[in-house]
Each structure stands twice: as structure tokens, then as C-alpha cells.
Structure 1
Amino acid sequence: MHQITAVLVGAGARGRFVYGAYAQKYPDQLQIVAVAEPDGERRSIAAEEYRLSSDRLYASWEQLLADRQIADIAIIATQDRMHYAPTLKALALGYDVLLEKPMSPDIDEVIGMAEASVKHNRLLIVSHVLRYTPFWSKIKELIVSGRVGRVVSVQLSENVGYFHMAHSFVRGNWSRSEETSPMILQKSCHDMDILSWLIDKRCLKISSYGSLLHFRPEHAPPGSTIRCTDGCAVERRCPYSAIRIYEEAETQEWTRFIANDPSPEAVRQALREGPFGRCVYRCDNNVVDHQVVNMEFEEGVTASFTMSGFSHDISRTVQIMGTLGEIRGCMEKGEIALYPFGEEGCLVPVSVEEGGHGGGDEGLVREFLKDVRSRRRESGQGLTSAGASVQSHLMAFAAERSRLEDGHSVLIMERNLIGGSTQ
């Protein structure tokens, strides 16, 4: 096993706390040799954490990817609408690319990136991390084994968590669809991808409903203020209080995302001046806080998906109904129950791994590095290759279109790609 070198484009939350953290934890596997990041403070942190000299720190991806390849791979962890151009340039320079999800909120860019990976014979792996978890891998194994017969219907629920909803999709970077992506694409493309992978058939049509129901100005309680730090009369009993979530939390799970400096003074300044101190009812957000999606796949297989920002925890539950049996599971608890018809049901052992997304974050990087070492660059290779990821993106696009058209059914049209086709 030889060390893989990487350039990191975007040193924000995912760039630093997932990919950068992996390089620090497993230096024999991955070394970050250059970083592109517009925020000067983050560049300074990157210089210290990855031991980079000033000539390996860049204010933009254009500077980093200007002329020649300087590492084995490129990790692109920029915002959703900043994926296309650096990905195409990195592929053209000869990098294998690990790309944050979603690929892009533009369907032509999604197709273009998938085609470019084939054209340049480079790996382009999308961070659909759930496929790399022990939980979902075991469920896929049970389906493939035939224990439940032919899959007839699947129900999947994503419980976003009230605090995650407030942090990321009301106050945070993904609160406005025109600046990033619709909720079904940004947050729930993981779920569209898992459904596509488990069912393993083309999705033909979709209908969807959802809205921004709660986090609106008219729902602001009497006595509330623009910011939680402005003397809000209801702050102490508000579950969405920024002071409670960021300053008084037992861990820094969310605090680390609002200030590069974790000191109490820096956190309080971030709440007074930055977006994360705002009242959740007085933000400029417009993405939905709940949504349901119904899908029909080939051969009459159906699936339903529910996303809600109103849950006490962050979790996913699934029910898979087949002709010979049923599977029920809860990802966060690592619980999978198998019920073969006519037999006693049983619990299926599955490990619960530490780390983000049930071990999927580390699993993604680990498998990508293996693919790079083995030079698996044939079209469609890689568990979450760009080609494999196109269908889930098209499903998300169709779901959002249906939601905006009052739930009207949307057909998913086939889109041809170089080296193959997908829908």
C-alpha cells in the first residue's frame, strides 16, 4: 500500500473535518500536498495541519489547477454550484477526482462531468457515503442473496434532526436553493442514491409534495428578536436557540462549524455577527423543511421516501418488502431485522462504526484510494462513480420539479452517456 498524494479544493467543513482528518489519521495512506481555499484563516489552519509551505496554499482553485498535475488525486469539496469547472479542469490535467455531493444542481453539468471522466479515463467518485457503511452494505447483501425474494416496495425515512435542520438549512450554507441546491438534491441525494442502489432498476416516474412550513417570519414567537443574542424574551425555552446549540452544547459537534477559532469569545462573536446567531424565524431561507417522494421503478417496483426536519435525532429507517420476506432497519442503531415468510424472524449482526455517516465517510475515502492504487479507471468503475450517480441526481431533479408543479407525476427521461446510458 503506497501513499496517495492529494490536492484539496475547499477547506471548509467537509474538506477539513472529513478528508483532511482522514489524511491526519492515516498519513501512510493519504497526504495533502496543496490546498485551495479563499478564506485566509482556513488557509492558515491548513498550513499548520498539513504542514504546507506558503507556495502550496492558493486563494482559488484556478491558481491551484492552473497548469500541471502536482498530486495523484484532487478532492473537490467546494459549494454545490462550484463543482463543475474545477472538476473538469482536474480531470483534464490527469487527476482522479473525489467529488462532494451533489455533483451539481444543473443536469447538463452532471452529465458533462460524467462524460469527462470517461473521456479522460479518470476516476470520478461522488461522495454518496451511505453505500460504504456496514449497515447499507449488509442490507444490499441480503437483497442480492435472495432472502426476501424479489423486491416489491421500499419505504425510507430520513430524520434530519431539528438542530441539523436549523444549522444547515435555515441559518447555514444550504438555506437557499438558488444559491446551492434544493433540499431533495443537497441533503437527500444520499437517499435517492440508496434507493436506486438497493432496487437496482431504472426509476421511471416520480411525484412529490413538500414545503417550507415552519421556519417563516409569521411563526416568530412574540418577544423574539433578530438574533438570539439580542435579549430575546423566549430564547431560554426555544429549542432552536443558537446560544443553546452552539455555546452551551456539551460537545463542539456544531460549534466547530461556525468559527475557525473555537474559543468562547470567537463563538460569541460569530453568534453576534454571523449567520448562525439569527433567529430561525427571521432568516432568508427558502428550502423545504419536509418532503415526501413516491417513485415507480421498472417492473412495477415502488418506493416512498419521507424527509423531515422535525425529529429529535438524526437517523434513517428503512422497510424493504419482498415476495419472500421483509427487512426492517435503523441505521443509527445498527439494527437490521430479517423476516423470511413462514420462518422466525431474526436480527442480522452488523457493526456500528464510529465516524461520520455511520463510518461511510472513512469508508468512501478508503475505497477511493484503493481504486486509485489499482487504477480501476474503466467506464462505470467505482461503487459511486459519476456514471452510477447520474440516476439518483435525475431522480432528485424530477422530484423537485414535481413538488413545484403541485405533485404532478414526472417521467424520468433516459440520458445517453459516453460508454453507456442511464436515465
Structure 2
Amino acid sequence: MMKAALIGAGSRGFYAYGSYALQYPHEIQFIAVAEPNKEKREKFAETHNIPENMRFEDWTELLEKEQLCEALLICSPDRNHFKPVMKAIEKGYSILLEKPMSPVPHETLKIAEAASKHNTLLTVCHVMRYAPFYQALKEVIDQKAIGEIVSIQWNENVGYFHQAHSFVRGNWRNSGESSPMILQKSCHDMDMLAWLIGKECQSVSSYGSLSYFKKENAPEGSTYRCLDGCKVEKECPYSAAKWYLHDRDVWPANVISADSSIESRLKAIQEGPYGRCVYHCDNDVVDHQVVNLLFDNDVTVAFTMTAFTKETFRNFKIMGTKGEINGNDAKNELEINYFSGKKEMIHPETVDGGHMGADTSIMADFIHSVKQKSNSSLTSAIVSAQSHMIAYAAEESRVTGAIVSLKEYVENLKEIKEEVL
């Protein structure tokens, strides 16, 4: 059984990865946790029977000790990844690092270089590569079922409520505190596209903005908080009362407070960030964005991320020289239309767990890699840093309006990194 420590006992650390140890206690045991929020720290520690002397308020306390165990999971906020991961590499841990590696491009390059230098197993949580649905898609593409890929249309439908919860009210609402939307949410997509196409990205152009979730669009009669006497709360689709005070088959009720009782949730929306009106928050990340990508061999991609969808899912059309693939991950459906007239429908196997079973699959893969003493993985630091560069370049293009050459962008970053060093 692998023993592990956790830095960051928030939603991803507690539910996505921590829950794996409860389901498969013969595979992994958490023996230490570092989390500044006392309520979250104690909840995780008690859930996993972690002794008092292995509960740390700060990651520095954990990493100043001699190596405690084989593996370390780093699930702290985006801007708190760089220092602990660099220290953990020095200490000799095998590392599972939540994405993004860092909101700062040259820090991402330094992480990748350090992992390579120390032969460290560093798996980045680009979890979608591990989902059975996308594994099946990759297999179809690699078999050349539709010939050579020529172009792709790819949509990330964020969902109106997911946007409101995570990117307007929540932890990833403000790029200065976390990351730009294209990096925090859509680095999955940039990573999958690079993986599926299997070629180098040459250039990027992008447009997008925060168009709707802002003060000037607040309805007449709205208030700073949903429960402050808002006159339109009853009909508002974003009402905090509707989403957080009722039992729903969604994750938010477990996120806004450690205690999921009605009393605790009510207090959270009366006093905390999730009770704010979506038009009166300090959010600045975009609510829609398009990215155009040019890969080697003239492969082109048109990517769209938008908040303004009813459901949260990805759908796409991959067009090749011998046919096309239409995919919808919510339906677990791949439709292959061959130019010969043949049609094939694939419904890949499913696995329990978040992100279409990907959270379960990445944990199983990571544990296996640690046991095998391997220093490589499907989403290694080097591989993930490369797809991160596409996301950084897309944000650069969106902000400046310029078409960004990936090669030139990375070369400039390396110069910056050397200056910082």
C-alpha cells in the first residue's frame, strides 16, 4: 500500500483524490495533510485517521521534515503550486500536481525542468486524458479510422450555473487570484487537442471577454446578496437560495461549507462569497472565448468555450481525409461517419468517479507508477508544460489581439526564465 501526504484539502483534494483512498484503502493511505483552513484540515484528517502531529497548517511545515512517505498530492490554489512542488521535487517525493502547474509561464517551464533533472514522477492532473471516453477517441484516431486529421471543431460548454458557481462567485473568478479562464478551465482542452492531434502547435489567435456577469447587467431590484431582499431572486436562474439550500444532484452544496447542513449552508450564503449576486462580484475572467490553432501539417482547430449553455459537456467534430468523428461526452457517444458510406457508433466503457471516471483512473495510474518506480506518465511535467504553453499563448493573443507564434513565445519565456534565475 502506498502512503501519501496531501497539500490542499479543498474540493479536489478532499473529494476527487482523497475519496479514492476511502474506496481503495488497500492501495493508498493518507498519513499527513497540510491545509490552512482549520475546518477543512480537521475534516480531512478525521476522515483519514491522520494523527494530530501530522496535521499541518502550512505546507512549509510538512516539507521542512524529512520525506514522510512515497507520494505527495498538491491540490492547493493555482498560485500556491510553484514553491511546494519545487521543494517536493528536491525532497524526492513522487508528485500528483493539480492543474494548472502555475499561472506564471516561466514557472511552469522551471517545474518541468526540475522534474526532468531529478527524474521525478510528476503527474499533472490533466485528468481528461485518462477518461475512458477520450481514451477510446484517441484509439480511433491513432488507428487512422478517419485517415489523417485535417480540421477540428471543439466546444467546451461550461454551463450557465458552473460558470456562476466556479468562475463568478467561486475560487477561480479572478485571474489575479487564480488563473485566466483559458488556463484554469480550458487547459484540459488545449491538452487534449495536442494529445489527439499528436503534432506541434505552430500559432494561436484568440478572442473573448467578460460580457455578461458584471454590474451593468444587474436586473433592477437586485441586491449585493441574493438574500438581502432582492426583488428578482425568485425568478433568477442564479439564485443562491435555489442552488445551495436545496438538495440537488450537484457538487456545490459540499463546496460552500464543510458542514452540509441547511443551517451551515444558509450561513455560508448570508456571509460568504457564494451568496453574492452574480452581477455584483469581483470576477474578471471571461465568460466566452474562441481560440484558433494551427498545428503542423496544416491541421486547424476552432475551439469555443462558453458559459451560456444549459448543460456542462464537451462536443466536437473531428474531420479527416477518410471520414469524420462526432462526439458528445455527456452522451458517452462517438459517431464515426466514413466517406465510404459506413457508419459506426461507439459507446466507450464507463468508470465511476468525477470527470467521467478520469479522477479514478488518474489515481489508479499514479499509484501504479509509484509502485513501479516509474518517472514518466501520460501527463508528465514535460508533456503538460507543452500544452500549457498553448493556453498561455491563447491568453496572450486574446489580450493583445496578435497572432502568437508558439516557438517565438516559448523562446521569449526561456529568456525571461534565465533573467529571473
TM-score by length of 2: 0.96
Deviations 1:325-382 (A, max 9, x none): 11111011100011121132110231233321100111111111111111112xxx21
Match of 2:307 in 1: 309
Instruction: From the superposition, tell whether residues 334 and 251 of structure 1 become closer, same or farther in structure 2 (CA, over 3 Å).
Output: closer
CA distance in 2, matches of 1:353, 1:188: 23
Q: 1-side partners of 2:160 and 2:329: how far apart?
A: 18
- Give deviations 1:102-154, integer Å, cap 9, x for gaps: 10111111011111111111101100011001111111001110111111011
Unaligned runs of 5+ in 2: 415-421
Q: Does the CA-based 8 Å contact 1:246-1:252 persist in structure 2? A: no
Aligned-residue CA RMSD (Å): 1.4
**Corresponding residue of 1:421:** none
Aligned CA distance change for structure 1 residues 212 and 242 (closer, same or farther; 3 Å): same
CA distance in 1 between counterparts of 2:404 and 2:113 reads 25
* Counterpart amino acid of residue 326 in structure 1: E
1:346-361 superposed matches below 5 A: 346-361=344-359
Cα distance per residue 1:52-108 (max 9 Å; x no partner): 111010000000000310111000000101001100111111101000001011111
> Pick from 61, 67, 79: which aligns with 2:59?
61
Aligned counterpart, 1:138 = 136
Contact 2:159 2:312 in 1 (8 A): yes
State the identity as a percent: 48
Query: Which residue number in structure 1 is paired with residue 41 of structure 2?
Result: 43
Give the match for residue 86 of structure 2.
88
Give 1:232's aligned residue: 230
Deviation at 1:249, TM superposition (A): 3.9
Contact 1:213 1:288 in 2 (8 A): yes
Deviation at 1:413, TM superposition (A): 1.7
In structure 2, distance between residues paired with 1:217 and 1:273? 20
Q: Which residue matches 2:382?
A: 387
8 Å contact kept, 2:150–2:300? yes
1:19 deviates by 1.1
Matched, 1:401 2:399: no
- Does the Cα contact within 8 Å between 1:123 and 1:372 map onto a contact in 2? yes
Cα deviation for residue 252 of structure 1 reads 5.5
Q: Residue 158 of structure 2 contacts residue 313 of structure 2 at CA under 8 Å; is this kept in 1?
A: yes
**How far apart, in 2, do the equivalents of 1:97 and 1:46 lie?**
19
Aligned partners of 2:213 and 2:350: how far apart in 1?
Answer: 34
Q: State the one-letter code of the partner of 1:237.
A: E
Q: 1:382, 1:297 → 2: CA distance?
A: 23
Whole-angstrom CA distance in 2 between matches of 1:249 and 1:233: 24
| Alpha-carbon separation, structure 1, partners of 2:132 and 2:326 | 15
What is the aligned counterpart of 1:366 among 364, 367, 372? 364
Equivalenced residues, count: 412
Q: Summarize the alignment of residues 67-82 of structure 1 with structure 2, pairs less than 5 Å apart.
A: 67-82=65-80
The Cα offsets for residues 300-321 of structure 1, whole Å up to 9 and x where unpaired, read as: 1111110001111110001110
Aligned to 1:343, what secondary structure does the other structure show?
A: coil
- The answer to whether the aligner puts 1:123 opposite 2:121 as a matched pair is yes
Aligned 8 A contact 1:8 1:34 in 2: yes
Structure 1: distance between partners of 2:21 and 2:145: 39
Task: Tell me the amino acid that sits aligned with residue 108 of structure 1.
Answer: H
Greater alpha carbon shift after TM alignment, 241-250 vs 191-200: 241-250
Partner of 2:67, secondary structure, is coil
Residue in structure 2 matching 1:105, options 76, 81, 103? 103
The structural deviation recorded for 1:42 is 1.2
Aligned to 1:11: 9
Instruction: Please say if residues 352 and 360 of structure 2, whose CA atoms lie closer than 8 Å, have aligned partners that are also in contact.
Output: no
Report if the CA contact (8 A) 2:154-2:303 is conserved: yes
1:287 and 2:285 are equivalent in the alignment: yes
- Cα distance in 2 for partners of 1:43, 1:62 equals 15
Shift of 1:167: 0.5
Q: Does the CA contact (< 8 Å) of 1:333 and 1:352 recur in 2?
A: no
- What is the identity, as a one-letter code, of the residue corresponding to 1:354? D
5+ unaligned residues in a row in structure 1: which ranges? 419-423
Point out the more displaced range, 265-274 or 39-48.
39-48
Question: What secondary structure sits across from 2:356 in the alignment?
Answer: helix
Is residue 39–residue 258 contact of structure 2 (8 Å, CA) maintained in 1? yes
The amino acid that maps onto 2:313 is S
Q: 2:253 aligns with which of 252, 255, 278?
A: 255
Find the partner of 2:406 among 412, 418, 422: 412
Opposite residue 29 of structure 1, the aligned amino acid is E
1:47 deviation in Å?
2.1
Letter of the 2:286 partner, please give it: V
d(CA) in 2 for partners of 1:322, 1:154: 9
Q: After TM superposition, list the pairs within 5 Å mapping 1:131-170 onto structure 2.
A: 131-170=129-168
Change (3 A) 1:358 1:252: closer
Take 2:350 and 2:290, find their aligned partners in 1: how far apart are those partners?
28
Q: For 2:310, what is the secondary structure of its paired residue? A: coil
| TM-fit CA distance, 1:269 | 0.4
